[in-house]
Amino acid sequence: MLTNEDIQKLIKEQKSVFATKEDLEILKEDLRRDFSVLQTAVDGFAKKADTYFQEMVMLSHKVDRLEKWICQIAKKVKIELSS
């Protein structure tokens, strides 16, 4: 049969083996903080990627416009351009 002292020893030892409610709360807060940092980093990356893609679209339109002008100029001066 277990004595009162044995039960106290078991309770003391189980605290070092099993997580307590406080340990889980600390872990929960750490996870929230880490997720928040990760979310901020992803948002920053998404903004930079969006800006980059918008710049690429604008650059593509500019190149298309310049190519069109070059073809018009070549046609007026009667120069045949090869593709």
What percent of the chain is modeled with pLDDT above 90?
Answer: 67
77 pLDDT more than 90? yes
The mean predicted confidence, pLDDT, of the chain is 91
Say yes or no to pLDDT of 26 above 70.
yes
pLDDT in tens, 39-67: 999 999 999 999 999 999 999 999 999 99
pLDDT at 42: 98
The answer on pLDDT for 18 being more than 80 is no
Say which amino acid occupies 64: D
The residue type found at 79 is: I
